[in-house]
Amino acid sequence: MEPNENLNEIASCVDIDLGSSPKVIYSVFAQKANKNDPNTGYQNELKSFDFTNKIPSELLSSLKLEITEIDRDSFISAHAPLDKPSLVKAEKDGRMWVLDDNWVNDPGMFQDNGGGAGHPRSGFALAAFNEQKIKEKLIKAIRRILDHTRHIEFANKGITENTTNSRIVVRLFFSAIGAIGSGSVHKFLDGLIRNCALEAGVEAKVVLCMLLKGNFSVPNLKKAIPNELTTLTTIRVKATGAYVNPRTGIIEPVPFDILFVSSNINNEGNITSLDRLLCHEGQVNYFIQNTPGGGSLTERFCDIQGWGYDENGHRY
């Protein structure tokens, strides 16, 4: 999406964690921010969409994290209603649909852990079920940042950031291989974020932060590979600006501004474990958000926002 040079970009942003892995990234980021900047700490507004606000226990001991759960105000529970009237209404509203006959025989590797069982459509449906709750919390988070910015404006006349003509950054963190992240991200991109920002009185710049499997060995490989391929393909199609929403038949504009892709594979040697990769991501986010070098980097983001595709599908 082309940048609007007439908009001031607000420094603090809203971080939305979709699924389990991004909660670990947040914990590393917040813990480092709190220790290095005790007077300011974690400045962004966090919203976490998952089945539980607990950070995966298997990663806590290896990373020695002190933040073990997401606070209730920042957490949005990914649960569907169980009563029949709510389910019937959801089906009539198009928020759920009938699954194929064989789906129950192959629901995924983990059937009792409160997860999405490796099915992104479950993640999408859960985001649709909880859309109103997501909107309320997201609008509240944006308004809190605006209120803080206005307070700074009044306190320091040297800051002339006009929140009525500003853009706020909303970052979506998700894994491409799981159910909650790779499914619910499309609901968030389906106008939800931008509409919430407009209701709060600003525009939104949407930044996607996507984790890939790399060469990790994951438990549910049968579903991880097609989930990742489907997610990457869908994101690429949406980036063309010619994506046709299969539910509405409407051609949609590009729903995000920047895409960051991370995996454990790199030119200097592979990161050998998931906890190390998530720790690395938390450290990188701290650098971008809390250091002069990171600030200098974000100022150059606009240089990579003008890309598109020609008629042959080649990026320019």
pLDDT at 104: 46
The HSE-up count of residue 292 (CA atoms within 13 Å, CB side) is 0
Query: What's the mean per-residue pLDDT of the chain?
Result: 79
Start-end of H helices in 111-248: 120-129, 131-155, 180-187, 193-200, 221-238
Give the position of tokens 């209404």. 89
Task: Tell me the average pLDDT across 150-156.
Answer: 48
Share of the chain above pLDDT 90, in %: 26
261 domain-assigned: yes
Greater pLDDT, 146 or 100: 146
137 domain-assigned: yes
Helices 221-238 and 120-129: angle between axes, nearest 10 degrees? 60
pLDDT exceeds cutoff 80 at 307: no
159 domain-assigned: yes
Would you state the structure tokens that stand for residue 260, as one six-digit string?
Answer: 């960051």
194 domain-assigned: yes
129 domain-assigned: yes
CA gap 162, 169 in Å, rounded: 15
CA gap 255, 195 in Å, rounded: 12
Task: Tell me the average pLDDT across 14-22.
Answer: 92
Greater pLDDT, 151 or 263: 263
Q: Are 130 and 78 in contact (CB under 8 A)?
A: yes
Domain residues for 157? 8-304
Rounded to two decimals, what is the model's pTM?
A: 0.80
pLDDT at 148: 66
Among 35-39, 116-120, 138-142, 237-241, which is the least confidently predicted range?
A: 116-120
pLDDT exceeds cutoff 60 at 228: yes
pLDDT exceeds cutoff 80 at 278: yes
CATH for 156? 3.40.50.1440
Please count the other Cβ atoms lying within 10 Å of the Cβ belonging to residue 2.
10
183 domain-assigned: yes
Greater pLDDT, 18 or 42: 18
309 domain-assigned: no
Greater pLDDT, 122 or 99: 122
249 domain-assigned: yes
Task: Tell me the average pLDDT across 185-209.
Answer: 91
Start-end of H helices in the chain: 21-36, 57-63, 84-92, 120-129, 131-155, 180-187, 193-200, 221-238, 274-290, 292-298
**What totals of helices (H) and strands (E) does the chain contain, helices first?**
10, 9
**What's the number of domains the chain is made of?**
1
